[in-house]
């Protein structure tokens, strides 16, 4: 028996003034409870070497609500507050498993404004969603239909830095199931001049979303820098103008990546990509902005979860594998390959290569070897003299 995949369907909505005020209060209470629970757990460990779990913080929340100074916590739904404690427990679990850093306190200005409601705190009937403590349903812009007879298990309401309101409904999607198997396979070489180059020879243009709006962004940031620091209305408006430009850039980038990754997953059974160390590459001050705009990490994560949905395979090749310097025709290894060299000729066989297309072909060959024989397997490299690298080292050791 196969289980349905759970997907989050995100929509914009326009709250009334009363709903916006209620949600803003809820965001503030969620942040307050999270920070207080984090402080209590940190203090308990620092002073008494005592680990405080979710059940203990839940009991703390009950006591906080009964106190006079924290009585305002009773004005909002209790479910988002309990969910914030569960999120804190997950953060500590990831920390102790060495998957994440120590949890940090939520900031009023910088942290994401969100609240999560479970089934006991919302009502979804006839396409209308009503949250706890609210009389009227949310005015949601249904930009795409939910799965037939969908029953959301959780609802997350959020507001981004540009002031836009979103609601995300998590529900099972029976339409997500493995696609028919195919023999097609592709190697992908990520780049900056072209976002990706495929082993088939196709090159996908890098839209450079940030560069398109760089002038508008710079002007908005200059206007913001001229505003007096503080909580003034003019500074808040200038900050929101900057946030709207950033949001427009991010939306275009995300839309393009979704369309590209969906096409690649639908058309190919095996997809081979390189395991790039994006975090280390961002330390290059000359390329950091372009690398960030390309968003290679998001590209890879989209490929991986969509491949898991549709029964495809994503293979990653070691980042140190010299895909750009290996000849895809004879396997000879070039001595060096500076970044400015975009085409090169093999000294062994004379074949002229497009650097990116050749790298994609080599990645595909390496990835197929990995998927067949196991991780760490690489295609046999050949020296410019025609011998394989292994044979050449052996012959050099012989007297």
Which sequence positions are flagged as catalytic?
189, 274, 356
Structure tokens at 11: 């929509």
Structure tokens at 107: 């900031």
Helix (H) or strand (E) segment spanning residue 198: strand 194-198
Structure tokens at 57: 């913080």
Look up residue 189 and give its DSSP letter: E
Other beta carbons less than 10 A from residue 379's beta carbon: 19
Secondary structure percentages of the chain, helix, strand, coil, to 5: 45, 20, 35
Question: Are the beta carbons of 245 and 216 closer than 8 angstroms?
Answer: yes
Rounded distance between C-alpha atoms, residue 221 and residue 213, angstroms: 12
Edge-to-edge, what's the strand order for the sheet holding 270-274?
203-205, 194-198, 185-190, 270-274, 313-317
Q: Where are the alpha helices (DSSP H) in 153-195?
A: none
Hey, is 205 helix, strand or coil? strand
Question: Are the beta carbons of 197 and 359 closer than 8 angstroms?
Answer: yes
Helix (H) or strand (E) segment spanning residue 38: helix 17-48
Structure tokens at 269: 């059974």
Residues 6+ apart with CB under 8 A from 147: 171, 172, 173, 174, 175
């Amino acid at each position: 028996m196969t289980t349905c995949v759970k997907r989050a369907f995100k929509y914009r909505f326009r709250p009334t003034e009363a709903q916006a005020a209620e949600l803003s209060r809820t965001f503030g209470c969620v942040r307050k409870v999270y920070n207080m629970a984090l402080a209590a757990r940190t203090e308990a460990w620092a002073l008494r070497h005592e680990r405080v779990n979710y059940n203990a913080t839940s009991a703390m929340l009950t006591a906080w609500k009964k106190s006079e100074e924290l009585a305002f916590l009773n004005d909002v739904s209790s479910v988002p507050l309990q969910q914030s404690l569960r999120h804190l427990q997950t953060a500590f679990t990831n920390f102790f498993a060495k998957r994440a850093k120590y949890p940090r306190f939520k900031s009023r200005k910088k942290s994401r404004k969100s609240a999560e409601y479970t089934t006991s705190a919302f009502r979804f009937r006839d396409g209308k969603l009503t949250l706890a403590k609210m009389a009227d349903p949310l005015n949601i812009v249904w930009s795409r239909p939910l799965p037939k007879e969908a029953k959301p298990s959780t609802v997350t309401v959020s507001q981004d830095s540009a002031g836009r309101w979103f609601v995300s409904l998590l529900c099972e999607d029976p339409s997500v199931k493995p696609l028919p198997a195919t023999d097609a396979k592709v190697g992908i070489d990520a780049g900056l001049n072209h976002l990706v180059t495929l082993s088939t020879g196709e090159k996908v243009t890098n839209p450079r979303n940030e560069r398109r709006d760089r002038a508008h962004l710079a002007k908005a940031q200059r206007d913001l820098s001229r505003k007096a620091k503080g909580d003034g209305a003019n500074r808040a408006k200038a900050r929101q103008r900057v946030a709207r430009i950033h949001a427009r850039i991010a939306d275009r980038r995300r839309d393009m990546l979704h369309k590209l990754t969906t096409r690649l997953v639908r058309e190919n059974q095996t997809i081979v990509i390189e395991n790039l160390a994006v975090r280390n590459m961002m330390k290059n001050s000359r390329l950091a902005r372009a690398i960030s705009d390309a968003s290679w990490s998001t590209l890879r994560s989209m490929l991986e979860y969509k491949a898991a949905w549709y029964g495809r395979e994503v293979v990653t090749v070691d980042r140190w594998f010299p895909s750009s310097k290996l000849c895809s025709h004879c396997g000879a290894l070039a001595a060096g390959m500076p970044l400015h060299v975009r085409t090169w000729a093999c000294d062994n066989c004379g074949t002229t290569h497009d650097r990116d297309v050749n790298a994609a072909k080599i990645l595909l060959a390496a990835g197929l070897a990995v998927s067949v024989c196991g991780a760490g397997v690489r295609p046999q490299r050949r020296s410019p003299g025609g011998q394989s690298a292994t044979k050449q080292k052996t012959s050099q050791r012989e007297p």
